[in-house]
Amino acid sequence: MKITYYGHSTILVEGGNKRVIIDPFLSGNPHAVIKSGDVKVDAILLTHGHNDHFGDSIEIARNNNCPIIAIVELADYWESKGVKTIGMNIGGKYKLEGVTVKFTLAFHSSSVETENGPIYAGEPAGILLTMEGKTFYHAGDTGLFGDMRLIGELNQIDAAALPIGDFFTMGPEDALIAAEWIRAKRVIPIHYNTFPIIEQNGTAFCNALQEKGIQGIALQIGESIEI
């Protein structure tokens, strides 16, 4: 499994001849190093309905003739825009030719801004993505919650992406607790330094993880790891 970080919460995961992108926020990201037209994937996974997470989903879905996989209300919204979707809910699994997607709890909000105001976009979620026998956990936007322990107990997580930006999500202190609870072998900080209000030190967070015996990897934008 190859994991590439494209800033904010955008992660490209490759394995078993499949490529999926999670929360593709590129055109509105001041630090983005690729454009939506550069993305070649088999599916798009969304954690929730905020522009800094679904950002370029429609363009990528149309360019690749691929589905958007999301919580059902959010999937229904994108289907109304003429793209393929797969609407799921928390706790269920979907298998796509060697790729397994499962949505988990996350504690946040979820909506889509329209010209008539915000519309409800279902519950926010985290994602457990399994390819080639490896499992990647993308926590989405969330605060710390007790059932992260259960996620760690029920799954062997090879790598995880946890938000550390604070203000809208967990900050570094809570993310350190989350990292212990989910029992991931490797933790990648996300959802930080995109905007001034969520500036954090990813290296300091990873150093604190190391002190707890957890491998922390502060990926630079465009950088990858293989697990």
pLDDT at 67: 98
pLDDT value for 97: 87
Whether 86 has a pLDDT exceeding 90, the answer reads: yes
Structure confidence at residue 80 as a pLDDT band (50, 70, 90): very high
Instruction: Express each pLDDT in 137-184 by its tens digit.
Output: 999 999 999 999 999 999 999 999 999 999 999 999 999 999 999 999
Q: So what's the pLDDT on residue 221?
A: 98
Average pLDDT score, the chain: 97
Q: What is the pTM of this model?
A: 0.98
Domains of the chain by range and CATH?
A: 2-226 (3.60.15.10)
Q: Quote the CA–CA distance of 11 and 163 in Å, as a whole number.
A: 12
Pairing of strands 2-5, 11-15: antiparallel
Over residues 69-97, the mean pLDDT reads: 96
Q: At 96, is the pLDDT very low, low, confident or very high (cuts 50, 70, 90)?
A: confident
* pLDDT value at residue 32: 95
Tell me the average pLDDT across 96-121: 95
Contact between residue 196 and residue 186 where contact means Cβ atoms under 8 Å apart: no
Q: Which residues, at least 6 apart from 55, have a Cβ–Cβ distance to it below 8 Å? A: 23, 24, 25, 26, 27, 28, 29
Q: State the average pLDDT over residues 43-57.
A: 98
